[in-house]
C-alpha cells in the first residue's frame, strides 16, 4: 500500500485502523474474572483496510471488524477478524478503496455493485443460532461464533427484502426478533420495512410502509404493546448524491415524525405524531404504561457528524446527547410528547438488563463524559442510573483514557434485575493499548473487579453483545 491515510480526526488516535488480525489465548488478568461469566463478548466497529477513496472519510464508513472475548473458568481469550463482505474482498483484491462514500454515484471502474456490499460494521448479535454482523444499509452478515470466519449475507431464505437495522429488538418473553429497515425501495426512498423473526429464525411477518420522508433511521423502540418508528429530519436525498453533494444532511424544518403501531396491528395502523426537530441514535429502553409510552433516549438537539442541508455550520453544543425521558400520550387524537432531561451529563451508548427490555425497568447504564477530558476522547466514564431512586453513580477513568459502550450480563438467568456484571473496553491513552473491564453492576463506582489486558489497542467502535455459553 503506497497511499497514506488522510489527516482526519476519525483516522487518528484510537480512531485509527488497527489493520491487524490475531489470536491471543489466556489474557493477563488483574483481579478475578467471575466464574459466572461463561460465554463470548463480541464487539463490532469500523476498521478501514485502505485509505478512503477521494480522501474524505466518515467514522460510519469503515470495514467491519469483530473483536471477540471468550470467557471460561475465569480465563479470557481474544480473537479479531475483518468481516469479509463482497466489498471487503473486492477492495482487498484491488489493493485500494473502490467507493467514495461522499459520492457513491461515481465508484472506481473496478467496482462490482452486486453482492453483499455493505460494511457490516455497526452491531453484532446472536439469535436463532446465528451470529449476525449488522449495519443498517444491507441485510445481516453471518459470522462463525467461534472462529469468526465470514459465512455470508443472510436474508432469511429470501424473505427479508430490505436492508435491516443494526438494532433489532429481541423480546425477552417470546424470543422473537423485531426489526425494520429504511430505504427499503432503494437508497433515498421513503419506503420502510417492518418484520418479526421467530425463535427458529423464520420470517413470521414482513410488511412495508411509507415514512413521511426519506430519513436515516438508526434505531427504534419496542414495548410489550407498541412499535415506535422515529423519523427525524436527517434526510437522504439521491439527487444531492448525484450532484456530488452530501447524500445525508440535517433539515430541521421538516420536524420529527414519530410513528406508533400496535404490536397486534399492522403497518396500516401506524399513527404519526409530529414534534419539533431533535435526534437520537439510541434509546435505553421503552415501555407501555396505560395510555402512555415511556421512552428513555439519548437525545441530541441536532444530528451529530452530518452537515446542514442549507450549508450552515452545525452547532457542536447541539450535537451532544443527554438522557431524556419521553412520555408519549396516546389518549388524544393528535398525540403529544412530553420530554424531560434526566440529568445534564453528556453521554451515549445506553444499555440495560435486556431481560427487562420492553418492560418497566429500574437500571440503566451508559458511557458519559465527566469533567475535563482531552479532545477526541468522547467518553471517560461509565454511568449507572437507578430510575427507581433517581440516583446515579460513576466510575471515571484516568486522564487520557476512554471507555466504550457498557454491556450488562446477568449473573444468572434467574437473577433479579441489575444483579450481574458490566463489561466495557477501555483505551489506555498513555500506553496506546486497550483493556477489557469487568464491573460488579451493583457497585460501578468502586471500579472494575477484573481487568483483562490486551497488548494492542481496539479502535473506538460502536456496539457489542453477549452470547451465553452452552
Domain membership flag for residue 299: yes
First to last CA, the chain: 43
Asked if the structure places residue 190 within a domain, the reply is: yes
What was the pLDDT predicted at 336? 86
* Mean pLDDT value of segment 367-395: 89
> Please, what sign has the CA dihedral across residues 237, 241, 244, 245?
positive
Q: Is the pLDDT of residue 117 over 80?
A: no
State pTM to two decimals.
0.96
Running DSSP on this structure, what letter comes out for residue 318? G
148: left (phi over 0), alpha (psi -120 to 50) or beta: left
DSSP character at residue 213: S
CB atoms within 10 A of CB 444: 20
Mean pLDDT of 137-153: 97
- Is 116 a residue whose pLDDT tops 70? no
- The C-alpha cell at 3 is 497511499
Residue 411: CB partners within 8 Å, gap ≥ 6?
34, 36, 419, 420, 421
Return the pLDDT at 238.
84
Which pLDDT score is estimated for 351?
Answer: 98
The model's pLDDT over 157-176, given as tens digits with 9 standing for 90+, comes to 999 999 999 999 999 999 99
Q: What does the pLDDT look like over 23-44, one tens digit per residue?
A: 999 999 999 999 999 999 999 9
Over residues 406-416, the mean pLDDT reads 97
* Percent of the chain clearing pLDDT 90 (strictly above): 85
Overall average pLDDT of the 207-216 stretch: 98
Task: Give the 3-state secondary structure of residue 1.
Answer: coil
pLDDT at 375: 61
What is the span of the domain harbouring residue 225?
170-342
Predicted pLDDT of residue 302 = 94
Q: How many domains does the chain have?
A: 1
Residue 241 within any structural domain of the chain = yes
- Evaluate if residue 105 carries a pLDDT over 80: no
Segment 55-79, tens digit of pLDDT: 889 899 999 999 999 999 999 999 9
**Is 318 among the domain residues?**
yes
Predicted confidence (pLDDT) at residue 403 exceeds the cutoff of 80? yes
| 174-190 average pLDDT score | 96
C-alpha grid cell, residue 254: 421538516
Bigger pLDDT: 240 vs 265: 265
Q: Which residue has the higher pLDDT, 54 or 180?
A: 180
Q: Is residue 83 in some structural domain?
A: no
Q: Report the percent of the chain where pLDDT is more than 70.
A: 97
pLDDT mean across residues, the chain:
94
Q: Hunting for cell 466514564 — which residue is that?
A: 381
Q: Is residue 289 part of a domain?
A: yes
Predicted pLDDT of residue 235: 97
**Residue 373: predicted pLDDT:** 67
At 246, the pLDDT band (50, 70, 90 cuts) reads confident
Q: Is 285 contained in some domain?
A: yes
Residue 309 lies in a domain: yes
Amino acid at each position: 500500500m503506497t497511499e497514506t491515510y488522510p489527516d482526519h480526526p476519525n483516522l487518528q488516535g484510537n480512531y485509527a485502523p488497527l489493520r491487524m488480525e490475531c489470536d491471543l489465548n489466556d489474557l493477563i488478568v488483574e483481579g478475578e474474572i467471575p466464574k459466572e461469566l461463561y460465554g463470548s463478548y463480541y464487539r463490532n466497529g469500523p476498521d478501514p483496510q485502505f485509505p478512503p477513496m477521494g480522501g474524505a472519510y466518515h467514522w460510519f464508513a469503515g470495514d467491519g471488524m469483530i473483536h471477540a472475548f471468550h470467557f471460561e473458568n475465569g480465563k479470557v481469550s481474544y480473537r479479531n477478524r475483518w468481516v469479509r463482505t463482497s466489498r471487503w474482498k473486492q477492495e482487498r483484491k484491488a489493493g485500494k478503496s473502490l467507493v467514495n462514500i461522499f459520492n457513491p454515484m461515481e465508484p472506481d471502474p473496478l467496482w462490482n455493485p452486486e453482492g453483499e456490499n455493505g460494511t457490516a460494521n455497526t452491531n453484532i448479535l446472536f439469535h436463532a443460532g446465528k451470529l449476525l454482523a449488522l449495519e443498517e444499509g444491507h441485510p445481516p452478515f453471518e459470522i462463525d461464533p467461534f472462529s469468526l470466519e465470514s459465512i455470508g449475507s443472510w436474508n432469511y431464505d429470501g424473505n427479508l427484502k430490505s436492508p435491516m437495522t443494526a438494532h433489532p429488538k429481541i423480546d425477552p418473553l417470546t424470543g422473537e426478533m423485531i426489526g425494520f429497515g429504511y430505504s427499503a425501495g432503494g437508497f433515498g426512498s421513503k419506503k420502510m420495512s417492518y418484520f418479526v423473526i421467530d425463535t427458529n429464525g423464520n420470517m413470521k411477518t414482513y410488511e412495508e410502509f411509507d415514512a413521511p420522508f426519506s430519513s436515516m433511521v438508526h434505531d427504534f423502540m419496542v414495548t410489550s404493546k407498541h412499535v415506535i418508528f422515529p423519523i427525524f429530519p436527517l434526510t437522504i436525498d439521491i439527487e444531492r448524491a448525484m450532484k456530488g453533494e452530501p447524500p445525508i444532511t440535517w433539515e430541521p424544518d421538516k420536524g420529527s415524525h414519530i410513528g406508533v403501531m400496535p404490536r397486534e396491528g399492522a403497518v396500516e395502523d401506524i399513527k404519526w405524531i409530529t414534534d419539533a426537530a431533535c435526534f437520537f441514535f439510541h434509546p435505553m429502553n421503552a415501555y407501555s404504561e396505560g395510555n402512555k409510552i415511556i421512552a428513555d433516549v439519548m437525545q441530541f438537539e441536532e444530528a451529530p457528524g452530518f452537515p446542514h442541508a442549507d450549508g450552515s455550520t452545525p452547532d457542536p453544543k447541539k450535537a451532544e446527547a443527554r438522557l431524556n425521558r419521553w412520555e408519549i400520550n396516546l389518549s388524544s387524537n393528535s398525540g403529544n410528547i412530553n420530554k424531560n432531561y434526566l440529568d445534564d451529563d453528556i453521554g451515549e451508548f445506553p444499555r440495560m438488563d435486556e431481560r427487562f427490555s420492553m418492560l418497566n425497568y429500574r437500571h440503566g447504564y451508559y458511557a458519559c463524559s465527566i469533567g475535563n477530558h482531552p479532545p477526541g476522547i468522547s467518553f471517560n466514564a461509565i454511568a449507572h442510573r437507578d430510575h427507581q431512586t433517581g440516583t446515579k453513580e460513576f466510575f471515571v477513568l484516568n486522564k487520557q483514557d476512554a471507555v466504550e459502550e457498557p454491556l450488562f450480563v446477568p449473573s444468572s438467568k434467574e437473577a433479579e434485575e441489575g444483579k450481574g456484571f458490566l463489561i466495557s473496553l477501555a483505551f489506555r491513552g498513555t500506553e496506546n493499548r486497550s483493556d477489557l473491564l469487568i464491573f460488579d453492576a451493583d457497585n460501578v463506582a468502586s471500579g472494575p473487579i477484573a481487568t483483562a489486558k490486551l497488548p494492542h489497542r481496539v479502535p473506538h467502535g460502536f456496539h457489542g453483545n453477549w452470547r451465553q455459553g452452552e
